[in-house]
Amino acid sequence: MKLYHHPLSGHAHRARLFLSLLGIEHELVVVDFARREHKQADFLKLNSFGQVPVLDDAGTIISDSNAILVYLAKKTGRTDWLPEDAAGAAAVQRWLSVAAGQIAHGPAQARLINVFKAPYRPEEVIPRSHAILALIEQELEGRGWIAADRPTIADVALYSYVARAPEGDVDLQPYPEIRAWLARTEALPGFVEFEKTPVGLRLSEAL
């Protein structure tokens, strides 16, 4: 398998993380954002949206990070990561939607302001970030994982941007359950770290 990615993209990291957690051999192809390779004709043939990640599985092309997670779980028959039963699958899907919605428009956008100078408004995205983090904190009380009694692709989908929320000036100190969940995720066999950027609250940690 070949994964087109960028090391600072949380969407790309969640796909890379799951490939590693599954122990699937794969080639990483870095898409150069500075040269706008993601908007060039060759890449747009892979993903007309011009976004990473894109998975090439011997000619089967899958774009969208959450779609890649579903594809990999189904391809490998890993029902532990993506349940087959109706209630279990729905519980996972609920959090895939959160990853694509509230996480993307909260912690991810807050981070984009500092990492890529994106034109979002901190006074809007930082409160949105804390609103969804407070809900996740509540959901994690008394449980180890977000959608089941074991890690699932829901946890993988949420991890990257939550872990790097401080890069967007979103403090994780008020959320002990989230911080413990991040540590559990990072202890999983095959875990690969999401590259850190010394911006936002991370800047003071790096000094």
Q: What is the DSSP string of 23-77?
A: T---EEEE--TTTTGGGSHHHHHH-TT--S-EEEETTEEEESHHHHHHHHHHHHT
* Kind of pairing between the strands at 27-30 and 2-5: parallel
Pairing of strands 60-63, 2-5: unpaired
pLDDT at residue 38, rounded to an integer: 80
Q: What pLDDT was estimated at residue 58?
A: 96
What does the pLDDT read at residue 206?
Answer: 52
- Counting Cβ atoms within 10 Å, is residue 170 exposed (0-12), middle (13-18) or buried (19+)? buried
Predicted confidence pLDDT, tens digits, the chain (207 residues): 999 999 999 999 999 999 999 999 999 999 987 778 888 888 899 989 889 999 999 999 999 999 999 999 999 999 999 999 999 999 999 999 999 999 999 999 999 999 999 999 999 999 999 999 999 999 999 999 999 999 999 999 999 999 999 999 999 999 999 999 999 999 999 999 999 999 999 776 654
Q: Which residues contact 61 (CB under 8 A, 6 or more apart)?
A: 46, 47, 54, 55
